[in-house]
Chain A
Amino acid sequence: MSNSYLDPSTAALSIRSLGKRFGEKVAVNGISLDVPSGSFFGLVGPNGAGKTTALSMATGLMRPDAGQAWIHGIDVWAEPMRAKASLGVLADGVRLFDRLSGRQLVTYSGLLRGMDRATVDERTEDLLRVLDLDDAGSKLVVDYSAGMTKKIALATALIHSPRVLVLDEPFEAVDPVSAANIRDILSDYVSHGGTVIVSSHVMDLVQRMCSHVAVIANGNLLAAGSVDEVRGDQSLEDRFVDLVGGRGTNEGLSWLHTS
């Protein structure tokens, strides 16, 4: 893990000593991290590692107990409105305004950001088309499947063409074809100068897709850097298990052997 941090104004996302505790439990233990501009950044960690909490604090959804976060040099907690303007977020575990149709919801997200109606309408149709939600666009979101809900939420995060995209578990429940489409969109976005931060616990996906990766466990940052730096000559999955630990020996359940 490198200790030389970038200047917050050059990184797409910078966090310094970000910490949060819930009662006795320390959810995020003073993490510092830089996401270089133009990178496809994977945030991996076991369940309950503090990924969602860290991302919530970096995107203005949750006030940190300590530390700071910048989006392209704009302090998220000093100038939240400005920081949010260049940020697109897919939050995990939140509801949508599901009594709206998909088209209404994406439009709503654009209009809330003060965009003009013509641009919003044009981009909404584009997003629905590439996410394969053309027909579903005029149905209520409450009737969507889990994967469709994820996709429409992604559309609400993309409508204003943000400079930085923060996606918490974007591929959960999404079918393989849509997932491949979404990966293409994100790769294209990165190749044109955007920055993507995804959290996931599918290591294989992160290794194939991301240029950079950070490993979080128990609220601590265990490793960060380019994917090749972090994994060395191992696969990312093996490296992850090494870092996080917790693999049992294979002698656990002898009675489960049926023969």
Chain B
Amino acid sequence: MVAHLLKLKLLLLRNSFKRSPWQLVGVIIGGLYGLGVIAMLGVGLFYLGTREPNEIAMYLVLAVSLITLGWTVIPLVAFGVDLTLDPARFTTFTLSRPKLATGLLLSGFIGIPGVLTLLLLLGQTLAWRANIAAMVAAVICGLLSALMCLALARWSTTSMTQLTGSRKFKDVAGIIAIIPLILLGPIISTSMGGFESALDWLPTVSAVLGWTPLGAFAAVPGDLASGALLVGLARFVLGLGYLALVVWAWERGLHKAMENPMAPKTSAKAVGMGMFNIFPSTPTGAVAARTMTYWLKDPRYAASIVIVPLLPVIIYFASVNTGSTIIMMWLGPMLAILMAFSISADISYDSTAFSLHVLTGVSGVADRTGRVIACGLIALPVTLLAAILPPVFLDRMYMLPLLLGISLCALLGGLGVSSVASARFTYSVPLPGESPFKTPPGAGARMAVTQLATFGIMFVLLIPVIGLAIAQMVTGNELFGWLALGVGIVLGSVFLLIGIRLGGRWMENRMPELMQAVMVNK
């Protein structure tokens, strides 16, 4: 029975490749990339094997704990529960609870992340090759650690669904949860204050983690290698206990969910006409009103707004670390490009709801303009603030005109480029209602090429203004800055107009093809 479930998962994976070759390409690229990383880490593990057992154990416990923590937390924000084998679909079959749980758990190994994690955790053996007992223990504990990862992932996502009955909670939680993850890097790099001081407290952290579910298994081979057989045994038993506890908790939550499926809570709150009363009642105004509503209500758009306050924080940390505030000056242009970029996959985000635009025969220019207006109303004040505040507060007023010029050119031109890109290129994006940070499998290759090209063209269009900025920095003549401001606004507006016209024409000519593309992505 367990074998049947595993076979089913494998079949589902294979069939998804048949449906779209791009998905296969994405998985192969992702797999090769992952294998490359694993190979490098394997070399690292091999060299780690030449160190003292204490040191080996410390690094391995830390690394394995981090991987296990990743498996616990990342699925929450990124994918939600893995519903490839949705337990609810098995309710009508007479599957015994333990068999269903075992099958579901082991099916986690089928897929790129599962396989790579298993390989990596088994790779610990390389580091313990000096000691036969530790090596054997590393194989067993590696397997168990991998199981622990899968069990924790299942447990965290299942208990999360218990909490997240309402759509609104899911919408908000998905965005809030990502904030600490984005800020993790800068916070760690700043608070660590250099690798040397880290060496002081890392052993303590590692010792503590060795007794928690995250690192218990990883610490066992080290105990054996340093001769502490009893400690090792105790830890191993403790680890098994943790594993059993997690599996039990998950299995219980799973059955609670299956036996009492929660009725989706619907919000009874009435909404008025909202944006439709604010924007003019024309096709363009209607598109602007609709996209503005989505900017405020759809978590996939709200996610790009969350970046706005986060980017200054990240850049601030970066500037503190490098000791130079000059990088803060580039906040305006960076935010401008990011905001402009956020509508470059607008039709992909519409998904098949785009059919309404096709059926009503709305003109391409009205569609493009409406989307630009909604995005621009949010992006323009943000860009202005981000371009004006840093030079004012950091006392670099002489940079103000040129920064404003670059930022406005980046925003206007970028919106133009996005208007063309979204009319021509679609790729798999999270579907309406899905987590904004979910990456659909296989979106990789096509998405990366499209996004890279879009960013590239936005940058190329900025070259004339950047040239003027460089001229000011070289000559020190502020006239070039004012020139950059004027040229930036004029050029940006021209790019925007061309983008809307060209994008509008392409959209009108390609409506059925766009429709087919979003049908495939659904």
Q: Could you tell me if B358 and A60 are in contact, using CB atoms closer than 8 angstroms?
A: yes
Q: Could you tell me if B511 and A80 are in contact, using CB atoms closer than 8 angstroms?
A: yes
How many residues of chain B are within 8 Å of chain A by beta carbon? 46
CB distance from B304 to the nearest CB of A (A): 16
Q: Could you tell me if A109 and B273 are in contact, using CB atoms closer than 8 angstroms?
A: no
- 8 residue pairs bridging A and B, Cβ less than 8 Å apart: A61-B358, A84-B360, A97-B353, A98-B432, A98-B433, A104-B273, A108-B286, A156-B356
User: Which residues from chain A contact B361 at a C-beta distance below 8 Å?
Assistant: 60, 80-81, 84-85, 113
Q: Could you tell me if A143 and B271 are in contact, using CB atoms closer than 8 angstroms?
A: no
Given contacts A104-B276, A108-B290, A114-B283, are A60 and B359 in contact (CB under 8 A)?
yes
A62 close to chain B: CB less than 8 A: yes
Cα of A134 to Cα of B352 in the assembled complex, Å: 26
Given contacts A62-B512, A107-B273, A108-B276, are A116 and B267 in contact (CB under 8 A)?
no
Chain B 322-363 against A: per-residue CB contact (8 Å), 1 yes, 0 no?
Answer: 000000000000000000000000000011110111111111
B294 close to chain A: CB less than 8 A: yes
Residues of B within 8 A of A (CB): 167, 266-274, 276, 281-283, 285-287, 289-290, 293-294, 297-298, 350-353, 355-363, 432-433, 508, 511-513, 515-516, 519, 522
How many residues of chain A are within 8 Å of chain B by beta carbon? 40
User: Which residues from chain B contact A97 at a C-beta distance below 8 Å?
Assistant: 290, 294, 350, 353, 356
Cα of A31 to Cα of B155 in the assembled complex, Å: 54
A203 close to chain B: CB less than 8 A: no
Chain A 116-155 against B: per-residue CB contact (8 Å), 1 yes, 0 no?
Answer: 1100100000000000000000111011000000000000
Set B269, B281, B355: member contacting A94, Cβ < 8 A: B355
Cα of A97 to Cα of B346 in the assembled complex, Å: 13
User: Which residues from chain B contact A21 at a C-beta distance below 8 Å?
Assistant: none
User: Which residues from chain B contact A109 at a C-beta distance below 8 Å?
Assistant: 356, 360
User: Which residues from chain B contact A114 at a C-beta distance below 8 Å?
Assistant: 282-283
User: Which residues from chain A contact B511 at a C-beta distance below 8 Å?
Assistant: 60, 80
Given contacts A95-B432, A99-B298, A100-B293, are A112 and B356 in contact (CB under 8 A)?
yes
Residues of A within 8 A of B (CB): 59-63, 80-81, 84-85, 87, 89, 91, 93-101, 103-104, 107-109, 111-114, 116-117, 120, 138-140, 142-143, 156-157
Cα of A232 to Cα of B282 in the assembled complex, Å: 51
Given contacts A61-B358, A61-B359, A62-B516, are A104 and B293 in contact (CB under 8 A)?
yes
Q: Could you tell me if B512 and A63 are in contact, using CB atoms closer than 8 angstroms?
A: yes
Cα of A109 to Cα of B281 in the assembled complex, Å: 11
Most chain B C-beta atoms within 10 Å of own C-beta, residue among A93, A95, A101, A117: A95
Cα of A63 to Cα of B290 in the assembled complex, Å: 27
Q: Could you tell me if B281 and A111 are in contact, using CB atoms closer than 8 angstroms?
A: yes
Q: Could you tell me if A138 and B360 are in contact, using CB atoms closer than 8 angstroms?
A: no
Closest residue of B by beta carbon distance from A143: B266
Set A59, A60, A99, A111: member contacting B283, Cβ < 8 A: A111
CB distance from B474 to the nearest CB of A (A): 50
User: Which residues from chain A contact B267 at a C-beta distance below 8 Å?
Assistant: 139-140, 143
- Top 4 nearest A-B pairs by Cβ distance? A84-B361, A111-B286, A117-B281, A138-B270
Having A109-B356, A117-B281, one finds 4 other A-B pairs with CB under 8 Å, namely A60-B361, A112-B362, A139-B267, A140-B271
Most chain B C-beta atoms within 10 Å of own C-beta, residue among A94, A98, A116, A157: A94
Cα of A63 to Cα of B512 in the assembled complex, Å: 6
Q: Could you tell me if A100 and B290 are in contact, using CB atoms closer than 8 angstroms?
A: yes
CB distance from A148 to the nearest CB of B (A): 11
User: Which residues from chain A contact B269 at a C-beta distance below 8 Å?
Assistant: 139
Q: Could you tell me if B432 and A112 are in contact, using CB atoms closer than 8 angstroms?
A: no
Most chain A C-beta atoms within 10 Å of own C-beta, residue among B273, B285, B511: B273
